[in-house]
Amino acid sequence: MNWLVHQIVDRHLARVAREYAQGRLLDIGCGEKPYRALFAPFITEHVGLDHVDTQHPQDAIDLYGYADAIPVEAMSFDTVLCTTVLEHVEEPARALVEMHRVLRPAGILILTAPLFWHVHEAPRDFYRYTAFGLRYLCEKAGFTIMELTPLSGFVVTFAQEMVYFIHDSLPGWLIPVVGRTLGSLVQGVACLLAPLDRSTHFTWMYLVVARKP
């Protein structure tokens, strides 16, 4: 239902993993560790952190805790990965301070956070972020921004939300055939048009790479 945005995220994370990931990695809000294989060639250890009430399977969790209260000693990791988690954290500023705390000097934070997206994983869905807000929060926590990249324009954002609208509007018995067919068609058209779209202020997601001095 959302192969297009997953494809985009995977492409960008593959690049930043290759360029920045190192040493021990803490995956905050790890869920099932969907990016384990992608980061594996560049790190020595992949530690997954999630909370006990997560809506995802817990088989991949190594450490239970919260983004704003990470139960490890300071300067324990070389890389922190935090993908589509910050919108679910009640105190995002405190979470970024914690990420800074657990990183060693010159450690890297790789983070994604949405600007336009529907409510999901309710009721733990609290915020959306502009580039200005992400820069402010990261720099206030002590990070130096290396990259702050919008991952789409209007076409991808609109198409993906259209797919979810179609899915939510159809009777359940029509979703397997009609919903998936229409969803694939909408995303396919968006995939073709996306290279022509420069309206990045409509992005559904930002990617941040930041360094602890």
Distance CA 164, CA 185 (A): 13
Distance CA 11, CA 9 (A): 5
Q: Provide the strand spans (E) within 34-102.
A: 45-50, 63-64, 77-83
Beta-strand relationship, 45-50 and 63-64: parallel
Same-domain pairing of 62 and 137: yes
Same-domain pairing of 114 and 141: yes
The conformation of residue 82, written as its DSSP 8-state character, comes to E
Distance CA 114, CA 67 (A): 17
CA 178 to chain centre: 29
Rg of the Cα atoms in the chain: 17
The parent domain of residue 110 ranges over: 3-152+201-211
Same-domain pairing of 29 and 84: yes
CA distances from 14 to 38, 52, 99, 114 (A): 6, 29, 21, 19
Task: Tally the domains of the chain.
Answer: 2
Same-domain pairing of 87 and 99: yes
Q: pTM score, two decimals?
A: 0.94
**HEC states along 107-171?**
EEEEEEEECCCCCCCCCCCCCCCCHHHHHHHHHHCCCEEEEEEECCCHHHHHHHHHHHHHHHHCC
Same-domain pairing of 124 and 140: yes
Same-domain pairing of 123 and 78: yes
Same-domain pairing of 139 and 179: no
CATH number at residue 98: 3.40.50.150
Predicted pLDDT at 136:
98
Predicted pLDDT at 190:
96
What are 25's two structure tokens?
A: 């990695």
In tens, the pLDDT along 95-139 reads: 999 999 999 999 999 999 999 999 999 999 999 999 999 999 999
Predicted pLDDT at 57:
80
CA distances from 176 to 118, 161, 179, 182, 183 (A): 21, 18, 6, 10, 11
CA 130 to chain centre: 14
Same-domain pairing of 108 and 168: no
Same-domain pairing of 54 and 66: yes
Distance CA 91, CA 93 (A): 6
Same-domain pairing of 91 and 132: yes
Q: Are residues 138 and 109 in contact, defined by beta-carbon separation less than 8 angstroms?
A: yes
Predicted pLDDT at 6:
96
Same-domain pairing of 24 and 129: yes
Distance CA 204, CA 47 (A): 27
Distance CA 50, CA 88 (A): 12
Predicted pLDDT at 58:
79
Nearest CA to 157 out of 184, 190, 108, 130 is that of: 190
For every one of its 213 residues, what pLDDT tens digit does the chain have, with 9 covering 90 and above? Answer: 899 999 999 999 999 999 999 999 999 999 999 999 999 999 999 999 999 878 778 788 999 999 999 999 999 999 999 999 999 999 999 999 999 999 999 999 999 999 999 999 999 999 999 999 999 999 999 999 999 999 999 999 999 999 999 888 888 877 777 778 899 999 999 999 999 999 999 999 999 999 999
Same-domain pairing of 111 and 82: yes
